[in-house]
Structures are given as structure tokens and as C-alpha cells.
Amino acid sequence: MDGPFRGMLLDPDVESGTLMPRVLGTYESELWPAMRELLALADRPVVLNVGAADGYYAIGLLYGNLARRVVAYETLPRLQDAIARMAKRNGVEGQLVVRGQCTQAELGAALRECRPDLLLLDVEGGEAELLVPDRVPELKSIHILVELHPWVAEEEQSAILTAFSSTHVLSIVRARTPSAEDIRNAFFRGVAGLSTGVELRLLGERSAATYWCCMRSIMTA
């Protein structure tokens, strides 16, 4: 109903996250300034989306004409199928490649093969295994937006930030609690404003605090 993916068709039968914030266009809205900044560094960029889940971002970036091509990695076969179906439903299947598990070696190969402008990474705690520029040197010259998860040890999260501190400009985006004022649709804004319980049921996104790191490479040609 709103946001950068306005008009995109969702599939509630396979959607793997929280449905209503996506429908209303409030989902992870705090992330969009950082994402737009990185996307704007190239003209309709190629995006490598690792941990694509049901394809919300992979397909949304194509549908919203924010990327010209997306290579999406997703481990679960049922979600791989869901991505393919939703891409066809939204008419972007020709711009999307869906692949399976992304190991450290596969990530390096994909960065060399696809030469993406942006790496969008959400691997539910596996970020410390993948974001190792000493082993995947191609990471040094690509812009990265990664979700960092609270169940990853603090020293592992710090190691990620330290590893990229000399090759990237780093900024942190913290998750916030959305409110009825974030909804542009007057009817649903009114419904959400009826009580805190209704507001939470319409807009609640996650049970654990999380944050993202926006990494802008200073080594990009």
C-alpha cells in the first residue's frame, strides 16, 4: 500500500516474515535511507541478496525499478520456489536468478562472476562466517548492507566491523518500534491508533532487537 515497493503483489501463503507491516509499507522503514544511499551509488545496480527468504527485497528492488538485476541466495527449497513464483507474479522473473546455499567460497565466486554493486546480507547469524575480507577479498570493494543479529557473540560482531573499518565507511542503523503515525493510509492509521494492542498487532515486526550496518566501500572504482 505504501513505501518503495508500493503495488508489489505479496503471497501470504508463503511469506516468511511479518505480513501486515509489509502490506502497509512500514516494514523496516528505518532501513530505507541507508539502502537508498547505497543503491544511488550506481545506476540501477546489480544486487546480490544473500538470505533472500521469500524474496521481499529481491523482488521489491526489481519491481520498484531500484535494481536492474538481482541474484538471490536462499537455502530453503520451499522459499526458493516461493521467490520464483512471486517474481513471475510481479513480472520480474527475467531479471532474477535464484540460487541455493551461499558458502564463503560461493560468495567469493558470485562476487567475481556477477560483479554486483551492492551486497544485501541477512543470514540469521551466519554473517560472521561470510563477511571475512581476508578470505573473500572481493568484499573490500563492494557496498554492503548487513543485518547483525543479537544472538551472535559481541566479539564476532565487533570483528566484522573492525575487518571493514579500513575499506568502508560504516554506519549503524538501529531497529525502532513503529507507531500508528508511520502508516500513511488514514483508515489503518486510525485502526492502529485505537489501542497499543491493536497497534502492535498491525505493526509488530520482531521479538528481538536487531540492527544493520551500512558499509560504503571507499575502494570502489
Residue 186 cell numbers, joined? 488514514
Residue 144 is predicted with a pLDDT of: 97
When pLDDT is averaged across residues 120-143 and rounded to a whole number, the result is 93
Does residue 15 surpass a pLDDT of 70? no
* pLDDT averaged over every residue in the chain: 91
- The fraction of the chain above a pLDDT of 70, given in percent, is 96
Classify residue 174 as left (phi > 0), alpha (psi -120 to 50) or beta. Answer: beta
Does residue 121 surpass a pLDDT of 70? yes
Does residue 152 surpass a pLDDT of 80? no
CA angle at residue 91 from 88 to 97, to 5 degrees? Answer: 60
Helix/strand/coil for 32? helix
Q: How far apart are CA 62 and CA 92, in angstroms?
A: 7
Does residue 54 surpass a pLDDT of 80? yes
CB-based contact 79:99 (threshold 8 Å): no
User: Can you tell me which residue has the cell 542503523?
Assistant: 173
When pLDDT is averaged across residues 99-106 and rounded to a whole number, the result is 95
Q: How far apart are CA 30 and CA 147, in angstroms?
A: 13
pLDDT-wise least confident of 54-63, 137-146, 154-163? 154-163
